[in-house]
Structure 1
Amino acid sequence: MLFLPIISLLLPKLFMKLTPRKHYLLTVVLLLIYSIVMIYALAYPPNPNRIIETWLLTLLLQRFCPRLWYGLMWLSTIIILLYHPTAALYGRPSFGIVASLLSTTVSEASEYIGAISWRTYLATLLLASVPLFVVRLSRNLAVPRWRGYWGFLLVFILVLMTAQTARKGYTSGGFALRAQPIEFLADAYLQPRAYFAELAKLKADLAKPDNWQISSNHQIYRNYVLIIGESMRADYMHLYGFKYTNTPFLDKHANIVMDNMLSAGPNTPISLLHGLTLSHGKPFSIQNNVITLAKKAGMDTAWLSNQGALGQYDTSISTIAHQANHVTFLKTTGYDFGERSFDHQLVAPLKKVLAQPLTTSQSRLIVLHIMGSHPNPCDRLPQPPHLYVENNNSNCYIDSIRQTDSLLGQIYATLQSSGQPFSMLYFSDHGLSHDKNTYEKNSIVRSASILRHNDHFYQNYHVPLVVINSDQSGQSRNKAQRSGLELLDGIAQWLGIRTPQLPYSEQFFSTVDSTQLQVLDFNQRLQSVNQLQSDPLPANLR
C-alpha cells in the first residue's frame, strides 16, 4: 500500500491497454477489496455477510447511480480519515464510545491523541487512499449493460441478506443493512440516541419507590455474599458430573447443591430481571428487587460488578445495583467496551466493603456480578486455555469455569480472614448450547461447535446453585426441580427475610419439586421445561 500513489498514476495508462470487459472485471475485484478495507478501517467484524453486502451495494450504485457512487467513495475517504484512529483503539461505533466521548475532559482528550501511534496515522492515510484509488482507476470505465434480471438478482440478494439479519435479531435497536459506510453512519446516529434513552431509563427507574412488606427478619450470619455467575451450564462442571476436574473448590466446600436448578430466562437481562425482582413469571417490578428487600430488612448492601454499567443489556441490572449502599463497577459503560477486566479484580473492592463498620445487630448483603463464562469464553481468560479437545471454544469454556471456581475460593478466603460468620450463595444467570458449524465471534473462520445463547434447549437453563456456610461442613445434594422465577423467594429464605409477597420462600430449599415448572423464552413468554430439547455434551467430553 506504500506504492498506491505511484500505482494510481501508472495503472490508468495500463488500463487503457485492457479491453473494456477486462477493465470492468478488474474494477469489480477492486470494489471487493474496497469492501474489505472499509470494514477493517472502521473495525467492524469481517464476517462474509458484511463483506458481500458492501460489495453488492457498491456494484449496484456504480452501475445505476454513478454520481451517488462517486459521492460514496469520497465520503468513505473522509470517514476513514476521521474515525480510523479511534477504531484502531476502541473499535466500531458503540454505546461505550459515546459514553466515553460525552464524559471526556480536555486533559483526557489530549492523552487520547497522544496514545495514538504514528503507525496508526500512517495506516489511516493509506486506508483512506483506497476509495480514491478505486475512483481513479474507474475513470473512463465503460460499464457494460446489464440485462434487467442481473440487477434484480443483486438487489434481491441484498434485500434477502438484510432481512435475514433483521429476523435473527443481530441488530436489536440497530441497523440491519451491514454495508459500509451506511452501517457506520447509522451507528453514528443510533448509538448516541440509545445512550440518552438508557440514561433516562436509569434515572426514571431509580426514582421508583419499593413497596416491600417485611413480616419477619432474622439473619444468622454477619456477611451474606451473593455471587451471580455468567453463562455457566451445570453439566460442564465437575461438581455436576463433568469428566474434567474444573471445580476443585466447590467439590470440597459446597454445602448445599441444587442439582436441578433452572434459570428464569435464556440470557442475562431476562433471567436476572425476573429472578432478582418481584415477578414469578409476570411483568417484573424493578423497584421491588433483592437490594431494596435487603435494605428494607435493615441490612447494609453492596454491589460489585465486572459487567457493564450502562448499555442495551446492562442498564436494567445496573438500576438494581445502584440502589445499594456501596456500588463498584469495573466497567463504566458497556460490558464489552474498553480494556478487558477480570473477575478476580473484584476481590479488592470486596475487602474494602468488608472493612466498613456495621452496627452490632446489622448484617450485610454483598452482591458480586461476574463475567464468568460469557461468550466469547476465550476473552475471559488472561492466558491460553489447557488443551482438552481440539475445539478451542470448548477449551476456553472449561477453563473459564475453573477460573470462576478459583474466584469463589478467593472470596471464601477473604471472608474467612474477616473473622465474621458468613454465607455464600453462587448461581449462574443462564446456560448455553452448542451452535454447530458456525462462525467464531468477529471472524470469518467456521467452527464445528460454539457455545452460544439459545432458548430451545434444557441446557440453556440448567445452571448451578450452591450455598457455602462458614459454620457448616459436609455436602448435601437437593434434587428438587426449581425455576429461577422463584429465585428471589430462595434468596429471601437464605437471608432470613419473610414477606407475604414471596410465598415460595419456605419451600425453595425443600426437597419437593416445584409445580408447573416453567421458564421464559427470548420473547419473555412462559414455556414448559418439558417442551425443551436436549443439547448433550459433545462425545469427546462425556
Structure 2
Amino acid sequence: MNKEKLLYTPIKIIIPLIFLTIASYLMYKGAGYSISKTHIVMMMLLIIFANSSKKAFYFIIIPLVLLYMIYAPIGFTFGKASYQYIASIFTTDYSETTEFMNQIPIENWFYTLAILISVLLFRITTQKFNIHYTKNKTFLIIAIITLTFKQGPFDYFKNIKTSSMEVKHELTRLNEMKTENHWGKSTLTKKSTYDTYVLVIGESMRRDYLNLYGYPVKDTPFMNSTNGVVINGLESGGTNTIASLRLMLTKANTKTWQPNYALNFIDLANSAGFKTYWLSNQGYLGTYDTPVTSIATRSDYKYFTKYGAYDSANTSDYLLISKLKSILQTNPEKQKRLIVLHIYGSHPSACDRINDFNKKVISVKSEKYKYLACYVNSIAKTDDFLSKTYSLLEKNYKKNDDSFSLVFFADHGLAHRVIDNKILFNNNRVSKYHHDIPLMKFSSDDTQQIRYTAFKSGLNFTDGLAYWMGINNKNVTQNIDLFSSKSMSDDYGLHNKIKNSVNDPAIDIRGK
C-alpha cells in the first residue's frame, strides 16, 4: 500500500504540470513566437506562483490567458503581432476583416480554446490533489534561478505595446500634417512633355507571376504588346500596403526607412501647378486614418468607391474606369493633370477579386492550387484594367490632342503559405520575392517596347515620379530616372533585410 502511495504521489504532481506545459506552449505559439523552452518554463513558473493564491489566479492569470487567446487564432496562422497587423486593426474595413479571418484554419480556434481549458485543468487538479509547488524549497530555488536569466512571459505585451505605439505615433504625425507642406514652389522642366500623367497603383502583385516577366501563363497580353518601357528590378518600400506606400509616395528617409508626409508626391505635383486627382477602390476610413488616405486627401479631387464604408462590400476596380472617362472629358483649360488610380488588384482574397472577370486565363483541378489560379487570373484582370485605361487615354489623345503617360507599379508582393494543404498568399513572412514588384510606362508617343533589367529602389520612388513628370524642386534628388537602363547604386540596406528570408519562387500551376 505504501508503494502504491509513493507511486501515486509523483503521478499527481506530474499531471497538473502536463496541463500547464500544454497551456504555456499554446500561449507562446498563439502569440506567434518561435518556441523557446526557457520562455515556456518561465510562463509555467508565473502561473504556478500565482496559483498559490486564488485571487492571483483568477484576477491575474485568467485575464492574462484571455489576452493571449484574443490574438491566438491570428498568431497561430500569421505569426507574432507587428506594425502590419496592429495597423490593420486601425485601418481595415469589414469586408477585408472577413477575408482576413477566413484565412484562419478552424483548428486554430480549437487550439485557442485549449489554452483556457488546460489552464483551468491545471488549477482543478492542483486543488483536487492538494498540490502546493511553492511550498517546496528546492522548487523555489530552481524557480528563482530560472527567473533571473530572462523575463519572457511579458515579451508578448512589450511587442504589442511597441507596435501599438508605432501606429499611434504615425497616426499623430498624420493628423499634424493637415496643413504641412515642405516642398515650397516647384517648376517644370523641358521633360514635362505630356498633358496628362496617370499613375496606377496595383495591389499585392509579385512580378514573377506576370507573363511579362517570364511566368509561363499568358496573364499580361496588354503589358506584353504595348509600346513603352518595362523595368525588371523595382523593389518595394515594404511588404504590405501601408509600410510600402508611405515610403514610396513620400520623400523617404533612406537611412531610417521612415516616411516624410510633409514631402509627399501629391503636394509635389500641386506645387508644380498640376491638377491632381485620386481615384481609389481601396477603403476610405477617415481623413487621416491611414498614411495612404492622408496622401490621397491632398489631391484637388478625391473619389473612393468605399467612401466612409466600414461595412463596404467587395467592389470592382472597373468602377474607376467610368470615373476616369468623365475626368478625361473635362479639361477646358488644358491644365496639366496627375491622375492616380489605386486599385484592389490581387488583394487577398484573390478569388473574390475576379467575380466579374470573364477573361480568365487558367483553371486548375487540384484544390491545392485553386487560390494560385485565382491569383494569376487577378493579374490578368489588372492587365485588362490597364488595357481599358490606356484605351481611354488613347481615344482622348486622338480626339482632344491630350498627350499622356501611364505608369503602373504594385505596392508589394506576397509570400506563399500552405494552410490545410492549400497554397495561399499572405504577409506572414518575408520571402526573397516579397519586394519584387512590376514597373512599366506607356506613353502616347512611344513607338516600341523597351525592356531593361535594372535595380530601382522604392525609397527613391517619389524622386523618380518627379523626374517622370518633369518637376524641379530643391528637395528633389536630381536625375532619378525610374525608366532608364541604369541601376541605382544603393539599396539602403534592403539586401540585409531579406538575406535570411525564405526562398519561394513562383509556382507553375499549368496542368495542376
Question: Please, what TM-score do these two structures have when normalized by structure 2?
Answer: 0.65
Q: Does 1:64 align with 2:30?
A: no
Q: Matches of 2:253 and 2:392 in 1, distance apart?
A: 34
Aligned to 1:256: 228
Aligned to 2:268: 293
1:423 counterpart letter in structure 2? S
CA contact (8 A) 1:431 1:463 kept: yes
Q: Deviations over 1:43-76 (max 9, x none)?
A: x957575898996555313433324575344556
Aligned to 1:177: 155
Indicate which of 215, 218, 223 corresponds to 1:242.
215
Relative to structure 1, the CA distance from residue 99 to residue 130 in structure 2 (aligned partners, 3 Å threshold; closer, same or farther) is farther
Q: Does 1:428 align with 2:410?
A: yes
Taking only the aligned residue pairs, the percentage that are identical comes to 26
Q: Matches of 1:539 and 1:86 in 2, distance apart?
A: 31
Aligned to 2:440: 466
Q: Matches of 2:18 and 2:310 in 1, distance apart?
A: 35
Aligned to 2:106: none
Relative to structure 1, the CA distance from residue 519 to residue 83 in structure 2 (aligned partners, 3 Å threshold; closer, same or farther) is closer
Q: Matches of 1:487 and 1:294 in 2, distance apart?
A: 14
Q: Matches of 1:364 and 1:57 in 2, distance apart?
A: 61
CA contact (8 A) 2:91 2:289 kept: no
Indicate which of 9, 27, 38 corresponds to 2:16.
27
Query: Which secondary structure state, in structure 2, belongs to the residue aligned with residue 518 of structure 1?
Result: coil
The 5 Å alignment of 1:28-177 reads: 28-31=17-20, 49=34, 56=41, 59-67=44-52, 71-74=56-59, 94=86, 135-140=123-128, 141-143=130-132, 147=139, 151=143, 159=151, 177=155
Q: Matches of 2:50 and 2:480 in 1, distance apart?
A: 70
Q: Does 1:345 align with 2:313?
A: no
CA contact (8 A) 2:195 2:336 kept: yes
Q: CA deviation at 1:226?
A: 0.6
Relative to structure 1, the CA distance from residue 324 to residue 56 in structure 2 (aligned partners, 3 Å threshold; closer, same or farther) is farther
Query: Which secondary structure state, in structure 2, belongs to the residue aligned with residue 345 of structure 1?
Result: coil
CA contact (8 A) 1:232 1:432 kept: yes
Indicate which of 469, 489, 494 corresponds to 1:517.
489
Aligned to 2:336: 363
5+ residue gaps, structure 2 = 94-111
* Greater shift in the superposed pair: 54-63 or 385-394: 385-394
Relative to structure 1, the CA distance from residue 447 to residue 432 in structure 2 (aligned partners, 3 Å threshold; closer, same or farther) is closer
Query: Which secondary structure state, in structure 2, belongs to the residue aligned with residue 206 of structure 1?
Result: coil
CA contact (8 A) 1:265 1:520 kept: no
Q: Does 1:224 align with 2:206?
A: no
Q: Matches of 1:177 and 1:269 in 2, distance apart?
A: 25
Q: Matches of 1:539 and 1:444 in 2, distance apart?
A: 18
Relative to structure 1, the CA distance from residue 49 to residue 280 in structure 2 (aligned partners, 3 Å threshold; closer, same or farther) is closer
1:250 counterpart letter in structure 2? M
Q: Matches of 2:116 and 2:405 in 1, distance apart?
A: 58
Matched length = 458
Question: Please, what TM-score do these two structures have when normalized by structure 1?
Answer: 0.62
Q: CA deviation at 1:207?
A: 2.8
Q: CA deviation at 1:348?
A: 2.6
1:296 counterpart letter in structure 2? S
Q: CA deviation at 1:490?
A: 3.8
Q: Does 1:475 align with 2:460?
A: no
Q: CA deviation at 1:212?
A: 3.8
Q: Matches of 1:532 and 1:518 in 2, distance apart?
A: 19
Aligned to 2:379: 401
Q: Does 1:495 align with 2:469?
A: yes
Q: CA deviation at 1:247?
A: 1.8
Relative to structure 1, the CA distance from residue 348 to residue 330 in structure 2 (aligned partners, 3 Å threshold; closer, same or farther) is closer
Relative to structure 1, the CA distance from residue 197 to residue 331 in structure 2 (aligned partners, 3 Å threshold; closer, same or farther) is farther
Q: Matches of 1:48 and 1:332 in 2, distance apart?
A: 37
2:442 counterpart letter in structure 1? I
The 5 Å alignment of 1:296-445 reads: 296-305=271-280, 315-328=290-303, 345-349=316-320, 351-352=322-323, 354-356=325-327, 357-370=330-343, 372=345, 386-387=363-364, 398-412=376-390, 421=402, 422-431=404-413
Q: Matches of 1:262 and 1:199 in 2, distance apart?
A: 28
Relative to structure 1, the CA distance from residue 430 to residue 60 in structure 2 (aligned partners, 3 Å threshold; closer, same or farther) is same
Relative to structure 1, the CA distance from residue 350 to residue 70 in structure 2 (aligned partners, 3 Å threshold; closer, same or farther) is farther
Q: Matches of 1:339 and 1:35 in 2, distance apart?
A: 37
Query: Which secondary structure state, in structure 1, belongs to the residue aligned with residue 197 of structure 2?
Result: strand
CA contact (8 A) 1:519 1:528 kept: no
Aligned to 2:175: 203
Q: CA deviation at 1:258?
A: 2.7
Cα RMSD (Å): 5.8
Query: Which secondary structure state, in structure 2, belongs to the residue aligned with residue 227 of structure 1?
Result: strand
Aligned to 1:119: none
1:213 counterpart letter in structure 2? S
Q: CA deviation at 1:351?
A: 3.4
Aligned to 1:173: none
CA contact (8 A) 1:233 1:463 kept: yes
Aligned to 1:7: none
Relative to structure 1, the CA distance from residue 289 to residue 33 in structure 2 (aligned partners, 3 Å threshold; closer, same or farther) is same
Q: CA deviation at 1:476?
A: 2.8
Q: Matches of 1:473 and 1:74 in 2, distance apart?
A: 73
Q: CA deviation at 1:360?
A: 2.0
Q: CA deviation at 1:430?
A: 4.5
5+ residue gaps, structure 1 = 1-15, 102-123, 163-175
Relative to structure 1, the CA distance from residue 394 to residue 504 in structure 2 (aligned partners, 3 Å threshold; closer, same or farther) is farther
Q: Deviations over 1:16-51 (max 9, x none)?
A: 9x9343344433344466568989xxxx95757589
1:491 counterpart letter in structure 2? L
Relative to structure 1, the CA distance from residue 191 to residue 126 in structure 2 (aligned partners, 3 Å threshold; closer, same or farther) is same
1:258 counterpart letter in structure 2? V
Relative to structure 1, the CA distance from residue 196 to residue 484 in structure 2 (aligned partners, 3 Å threshold; closer, same or farther) is closer
Q: Matches of 2:235 and 2:90 in 1, distance apart?
A: 33
Q: Matches of 1:149 and 1:446 in 2, distance apart?
A: 48
Relative to structure 1, the CA distance from residue 212 to residue 373 in structure 2 (aligned partners, 3 Å threshold; closer, same or farther) is farther
Q: Matches of 1:289 and 1:448 in 2, distance apart?
A: 34
Relative to structure 1, the CA distance from residue 96 to residue 270 in structure 2 (aligned partners, 3 Å threshold; closer, same or farther) is closer
Relative to structure 1, the CA distance from residue 19 to residue 155 in structure 2 (aligned partners, 3 Å threshold; closer, same or farther) is same
Relative to structure 1, the CA distance from residue 450 to residue 491 in structure 2 (aligned partners, 3 Å threshold; closer, same or farther) is closer
Q: CA deviation at 1:202?
A: 0.6
CA contact (8 A) 1:35 1:51 kept: no
